[in-house]
C-alpha cells in the first residue's frame, strides 16, 4: 500500500498534526488513535508526534504496518474490474459467499481474493466495504487499508456512494419510464429465521426504482394463474406470512438504494407486490413456490457504483454488465 502524504499549507501551521489527519485526510478518530500506537507518522521524513505542529511546505506522511489476510487462498476465478494501491472493485458472480461463515468455511470471495493477493506477492488485509447476498451478483468494493475502509464506510453512511441495481420482478410495475420510491422501515421477521419484513418499528429504509422494460407473460406463464386478489395494502395488512395470488408478466427495474438494509430490495419489492424472479425466500409469500422454477436464484444484480476515491478525491464510476443468466432469461422472452 502506498504511503499517505499531505503537504502543509500556511493555514495548517496553527494546527496540531492530529487535527490535520482529521481535517485534511478525513481520518476517523478511531484511526488516529490506531496510528498513534500502530502506524508510523513522519514530518519531512523524521518521526513525528500527533501533538506537534509543522510549517507550510512540510510533508506529513502516514505509513501503515504490514497486514495479512487470514483467509485461506483458493484458486477461484474472480473478475476484478479495478485495482490500485488502496482498493479493489470486484464483480461477484451469483452463488459465491463474500466471506467464510459458520455454514461456508471455504469457497468464498475472500478465499479467491486471498489467492489473488498471494499470486501478486502483496500483503494487505481484506476489508469489504459493502456486502451482497450469496445469490446476488455484481459490484463490491474492497479496501486495502483501514483509512480507505473508514472513509468509504462514512461515505456510505451519509449516502454519498451511488449504488444501482438491476432486477427482474414478477408483475407489471408500470410502463417503461415509470418511477417510484418505497419508503418503508425494515426489521427482522420474528416468525422466520432468515426473512426480513416491513414494520412500523423497523429501521428507516428507502429504495427508488425505475421501470426499464415490461415483459408480457407467455402462455406457459399464465397456466395456474387465477384471478389476482393481490395489493400492497392487503399484504401489509395481512402480514408477511399471508400468501397472495401470483401476478402475470414481469418488469426489468433499475433500483437505487438510499439505505443498505439486509435484503432491502427483496423486502421492498415484495412489500409492493412484485417479488423478484427466482426469490424463493420472499416469492413463496405470493404462491410462486408452487410454480415451476424459472431461475435458480433471485434475479438481482449490483450493476453500478459511484464514489470518491479515498486518496485522490477523484469521482470513480464502475459498471458491471448484466450476468448471463439474467441476459438469457430476458432474451428468451
- Tell me the CATH number for domain 4-63: 3.10.290.10
- Please give the C-alpha separations between residue 112 and each of 63, 93, 115, 123, 293, in angstroms, as whole numbers: 27, 12, 5, 15, 30
Q: Which of 133, 221, 279, 325 is catalytic?
A: 133
CB burial string 4-26: b at 16+ within 10 A, e below? bebebeeebeeeebbebbeebbb
Catalytic residue list contains 133: yes
Rounded to whole angstroms, the Cα distance separating 264 from 198 reads 10
Q: Quick one: which H or E segment has residue 35?
A: helix 29-37
For residue 136, the 8-state DSSP code is -
pLDDT value, residue 267 = 96
Rounded to whole angstroms, the Cα distance separating 268 from 260 reads 12
At 200 the three-state DSSP class reads coil
- Tell me the CATH number for domain 79-158: 3.30.2350.10
Rounded to whole angstroms, the Cα distance separating 144 from 156 reads 17
Residue 221 pLDDT grade (very low, low, confident, very high; cuts 50, 70, 90): low
Q: Decide if pLDDT at 24 tops 90.
A: no
pLDDT value, residue 286 = 67
Domain boundaries along the sequence of the chain: 4-63, 79-158, 162-298
In sequence order, what are the residues at sequence separation of 6 or more whose Cβ sits closer than 8 angstroms to the Cβ of residue 144?
1, 85, 86, 87, 88, 124, 125, 127
Q: Establish whether domains 4-63 and 162-298 are of one fold.
A: no
Instruction: State pTM to two decimals.
Output: 0.80
Rounded to whole angstroms, the Cα distance separating 78 from 59 reads 38
At 193 the three-state DSSP class reads coil
For domain 162-298, the CATH architecture is 2-Layer Sandwich (3.30)
Average pLDDT, the chain: 86
At 83 the three-state DSSP class reads strand
pLDDT in tens, 130-142: 989 999 999 999 9
pLDDT in tens, 72-105: 999 999 999 999 999 999 999 999 999 887 777 8
pLDDT in tens, 40-64: 888 998 888 888 899 999 999 887 7
Q: Decide if pLDDT at 241 tops 50.
A: no
Q: Which three cell numbers stand for residue 237?
A: 395488512
pLDDT value, residue 2 = 59
Amino acid at each position: 500500500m502506498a504511503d499517505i502524504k499531505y503537504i502543509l499549507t500556511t493555514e495548517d501551521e496553527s494546527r496540531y498534526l492530529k487535527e490535520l489527519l482529521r481535517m485534511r485526510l478525513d481520518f476517523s478518530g478511531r484511526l488516529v488513535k490506531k496510528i498513534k500506537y500502530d502506524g508510523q507518522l513522519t514530518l519531512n521524513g523524521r518521526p513525528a508526534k500527533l501533538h506537534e505542529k509543522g510549517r507550510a511546505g512540510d510533508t506529513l506522511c502516514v505509513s501503515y504496518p504490514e497486514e495479512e489476510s487470514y483467509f485461506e487462498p483458493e484458486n477461484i476465478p474472480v473478475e476484478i474490474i479495478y485495482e490500485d494501491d488502496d482498493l479493489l472493485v470486484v464483480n461477484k458472480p451469483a452463488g459465491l459467499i463474500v466471506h467464510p461463515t459458520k455454514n461456508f468455511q471455504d469457497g468464498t470471495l475472500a478465499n479467491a481474493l486471498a489467492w489473488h493477493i498471494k499470486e501478486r506477492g502483496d500483503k494487505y488485509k481484506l476489508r469489504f466495504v459493502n456486502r451482497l447476498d450469496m445469490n446476488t451478483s455484481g459490484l463490491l468494493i474492497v479496501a486495502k487499508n483501514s483509512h480507505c475502509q473508514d472513509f468509504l464506510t462514512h461515505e456510505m453512511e451519509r449516502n454519498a456512494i451511488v449504488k444501482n441495481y438491476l432486477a427482474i420482478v414478477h408483475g407489471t410495475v408500470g410502463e417503461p419510464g415509470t418511477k417510484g420510491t418505497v419508503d418503508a422501515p425494515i426489521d427482522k421477521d420474528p416468525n422466520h429465521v432468515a426473512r426480513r419484513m416491513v414494520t412500523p418499528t423497523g429501521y428507516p429504509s428507502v429504495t427508488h426504482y425505475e421501470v426499464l422494460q415490461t415483459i408480457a407473460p407467455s402462455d406457459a406463464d399464465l397456466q395456474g394463474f387465477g384471478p389476482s386478489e393481490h395489493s400492497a395494502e392487503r399484504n401489509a395488512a395481512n402480514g408477511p406470512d399471508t400468501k397472495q395470488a401470483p401476478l402475470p408478466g414481469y418488469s426489468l427495474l433499475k433500483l437505487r438504494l438510499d439505505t443498505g438494509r439486509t435484503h432491502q430490495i427483496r423486502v421492498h419489492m415484495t412489500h409492493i407486490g412484485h417479488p423478484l424472479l427466482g426469490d424463493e425466500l420472499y416469492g413463496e409469500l405470493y404462491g410462486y413456490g408452487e410454480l415451476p422454477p424459472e431461475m435458480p436464484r433471485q434475479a438481482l444484480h449490483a450493476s453500478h457504483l459511484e464514489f470518491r476515491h479515498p486518496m485522490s478525491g477523484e469521482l470513480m464510476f464502475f459498471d458491471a454488465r448484466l450476468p448471463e443468466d439474467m441476459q438469457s432469461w430476458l432474451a428468451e422472452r
